[in-house]
Structure 1
Amino acid sequence: MNTPDTGWRAHEAAADTSWIQRLSPEAVAGFDAALAHARRAGKPLVEMTQDDFPLPQASVDALQAALACTQGHWGMCQLKGFPVDRWSEEDCRVAYWGLGLHLGVARTQNKASDILNDVRDAGGSYKVTNGRGYNTNAQLDFHCDSCDVVALLCRRTAKEGGASKIVSSKALVAEFARRRPDLVETLRGVFHYSYQGAQDPSQPPYYAIPLLGRADAPFAFRINRKNVNAAQRDFPEVPRLSTRQVEALDLIDTLLEDPALLFSMWFEQGDLQLLNNYTVVHSRTSFVDHEEPDQRRHLLRLWLAVPCAQQLPPDWAPYYGDDRAGSVRGGLRGSNRTQAFEEFEIRQAKRMNMQRKPFVPPEVPQGAAAETA
């Protein structure tokens, strides 16, 4: 009989660093050569294919090993050694998009339907209506991004702060069940989230899915309390949270800051962090930037649907678009999805041998009414 994986604790992530991998010189040379090839081709990102960023086996193997690490016990990987110090900012974009073509299908990420986001302080506000954290220097609430794997490439580090905070969802749920077994089924009820304005114009401004997948399905957990609170604040037609739901959310907040569960890591220049959004929850601390513009903290973010991703709970399909393992799903559609991106998605899904459903606008908000107190 197989022992269930109950995740990892902070001391285990500190002691066993098998989730950290490093590029070999051969792999680095492969990324340099592929970048030079892509620059000569000069295609817009959305028109590129793997053939426009041709990688040798050493580079492909490094990416696939890192991705495989996210689908196992750790749910995360830190792949170190990308030569961003000698790449220009535009080189970093091309190289990052190019390596993403070897990992999966990129997803749109915001109201503008951006496919490659800059994570840096652009003067944005976080805890406001429709606020997002990636363009601020604020400390972020714990959350899961709307994709199989979120990938962050560190181009520049902050002067101070900006630590990445990670919690194993499996360990969190196990501790939750130990403390409050009577509330576990509450996690499997419906919670409403605000889209924060990043939905397709045909979609309602909020959606509803459980926090925790069914007991008979592969483990999947998702939390973003900021967006749950926003749905309560902004949409009077959304059912009010029950007393038990609030208790469950409060306990999750407590556990996410529990030193036994919370693991902090630092980005170094050239690090690529990959996180599985179904088995880890993440956040970051606030940061202080350098004065020089090109020295300020700068990460590049891809949201990816990946061919090795797990099956999702069936009641998550209305939000993600598909619950099948290894399907093209997730992302925030935004208001500016272009025909060029649609063609990219079809082409890249075929290249990655991933199933893809066309988007069908919903007629009404998905999900049942929230449980009552």
Structure 2
Amino acid sequence: MTAFSPAAWYAPDAQRNTSWIQRLTADEVASFDAALAHAKATGKSFLKLAQEDFPLSPAARAALDRAIAATQGRWGMCLLKGFPVGKWTEDDTRLACWCMGLHMGVARTQNRASEFLNDVRDIGVAYKTRNGRGYNTNAALDFHTDSSDVVALLCRRAAKSGGESKVVSSIALRDEVRRRRPDLEPVLRQRFYFSYQGAQDPAQPPYYGLSILGNHPDHFAFRTNRKNIVAAQADFDTVPRLTGQQQDALDLLDELLTDPQLCFSMSLEPGDMQLLNNYVTVHSRTHFEDYEEMDRKRHLLRLWLAVPSAQALPDDWAEYFDDVRAGAVRGGLRGAARPEAFAVFEARQAAAMGMPLRAWTPGVPAPASAMAD
């Protein structure tokens, strides 16, 4: 049984105590290099690759295990430094990132195109537009949580300036709400409605509802994305209107999330992999200025992962996550283009990780009785 022990932390805590940072050794780096060469030699497509196609030394595998364990522990985050992206091509880095995910969990699709490994870089699109997604812009992002147990970002290149990652402990955030406006804590446990921003399966409605502050009796869980709440209010007449108290609660979150005592900033350098637990941290990014040259522009690779050590989720989150059992395959955005090959991959990878996987049925989350199994 996994011991879930995330705790509240404040920005000065993360500045002083850097136990959330881990560094690869030379031998571990050599193992990742050798595993990459092996994976390339197989000639397999991403969805046909398995753990044995990216064979790691015990020490290198342990480095990934420690990183995932850190996301489930006190900090809810890990910065794993030292991947040799400077000598890897873009294709090499993409392959290595995907294969590392095979040792950590089950990848989830992330957008309306049902992509399972996303490029985070500015392609000139707008962020705050209907169905806009921030990862393809250079804009400062609203604080939010992603749609998976863990988000992993591997940095290939940093921006010319800006693009700092900002992370807040959502447990500390809850504590500050409780301290400043205790009347608003129960409001955050009410149902809020979020737009899918067009990234849902065609069989799903365009929005979903859940509590921002989860009601699980044993595990803290927090999920927010005000941009998507605002979009649901603007785009769908069938969504209940926000009450005055709900507006006040969202305004308070916005105020607290930028409080320098709560908000910790870090700069991702080439070769860094940042991993965040989406149930106990909230994250953002500052605006960035890029280089003119294409081969110098900011570029990160993003994986959304379901991981076997993840906590149980509140029952009312089943509409969105489908399966709220601890360690189950869940989350992601299905999109409109999931290939059959992804379903085959998902089943094989779930078995390799020892994770339960239930068949997805549109609009039918697993019943509460099944969740308790």
Establish whether TM, by shorter chain, passes 0.5: yes
**Root mean square deviation, CA, Å:** 1.1
> Aligned equivalents of 2:264 and 2:364: distance in 1?
41
Residues 162-173 of structure 1 mapped to structure 2, 5 A cutoff: 162-173=163-174
Per the alignment, residue 18 of structure 1 pairs with: 19
Q: CA deviation at 1:124?
A: 1.4
Q: CA deviation at 1:217?
A: 3.1
> Aligned equivalents of 2:124 and 2:292: distance in 1?
14
Q: Deviations over 1:158-183 (max 9, x none)?
A: 00100000000000000000111111
Per the alignment, residue 76 of structure 1 pairs with: 77
Q: Which runs of 4+ in 1 moved over 6 A?
A: none
Per the alignment, residue 370 of structure 1 pairs with: none
Per the alignment, residue 228 of structure 1 pairs with: 229
Q: CA deviation at 1:322?
A: 0.5
AA in 2 matched with 1:93: R
Structure 2, gaps ≥5 residues long: 366-373
> Aligned equivalents of 1:228 and 1:150: distance in 2?
21
> Aligned equivalents of 2:163 and 2:344: distance in 1?
36
Count of residues in correspondence between the two structures: 361
2:304 counterpart SS class: strand
Residue identity (%):
62
Call closer, same or farther: CA 1:25–1:363 in 2, change over 3 Å.
closer
Q: CA deviation at 1:264?
A: 0.3
> Aligned equivalents of 1:216 and 1:351: distance in 2?
30
Structure 1, gaps ≥5 residues long: 365-373
The answer (yes or no) to whether the contact 1:149–1:277 under 8 Å persists in 2 is: yes
The answer (yes or no) to whether the contact 1:217–1:313 under 8 Å persists in 2 is: no
2:300 counterpart SS class: strand
Q: Deviations over 1:61-80 (max 9, x none)?
A: 00011111110110000000
Q: CA deviation at 1:147?
A: 0.2
Per the alignment, residue 371 of structure 2 pairs with: none
Per the alignment, residue 89 of structure 2 pairs with: 88
The answer (yes or no) to whether the contact 1:6–1:174 under 8 Å persists in 2 is: no
Residues 14-163 of structure 1 mapped to structure 2, 5 A cutoff: 14-163=15-164
Which sits farther off after the overlay, 345-354 or 5-14?
Answer: 5-14
Per the alignment, residue 274 of structure 1 pairs with: 275
AA in 1 matched with 2:312: Q
The answer (yes or no) to whether the contact 2:10–2:169 under 8 Å persists in 1 is: yes
1:134 counterpart SS class: helix
Per the alignment, residue 252 of structure 1 pairs with: 253
Relative to the length of structure 2, the TM-score reads 0.95
> Aligned equivalents of 1:341 and 1:328: distance in 2?
13
The answer (yes or no) to whether the contact 2:119–2:302 under 8 Å persists in 1 is: yes
> Aligned equivalents of 2:166 and 2:190: distance in 1?
27
The answer (yes or no) to whether the contact 1:45–1:97 under 8 Å persists in 2 is: yes
Per the alignment, residue 9 of structure 2 pairs with: 8
The answer (yes or no) to whether the contact 2:6–2:75 under 8 Å persists in 1 is: no
> Aligned equivalents of 2:53 and 2:112: distance in 1?
28
Relative to the length of structure 1, the TM-score reads 0.95
> Aligned equivalents of 2:282 and 2:318: distance in 1?
20
AA in 2 matched with 1:342: A
Residues 349-368 of structure 1 mapped to structure 2, 5 A cutoff: 349-362=350-363
Q: Deviations over 1:272-301 (max 9, x none)?
A: 000000000000001011111111000000
> Aligned equivalents of 1:267 and 1:362: distance in 2?
38
Q: Deviations over 1:104-157 (max 9, x none)?
A: 000000000000000000111100000000000000000000000000000000
> Aligned equivalents of 2:227 and 2:298: distance in 1?
24
> Aligned equivalents of 1:30 and 1:205: distance in 2?
44
Per the alignment, residue 296 of structure 2 pairs with: 295
AA in 1 matched with 2:29: V
2:274 counterpart SS class: strand
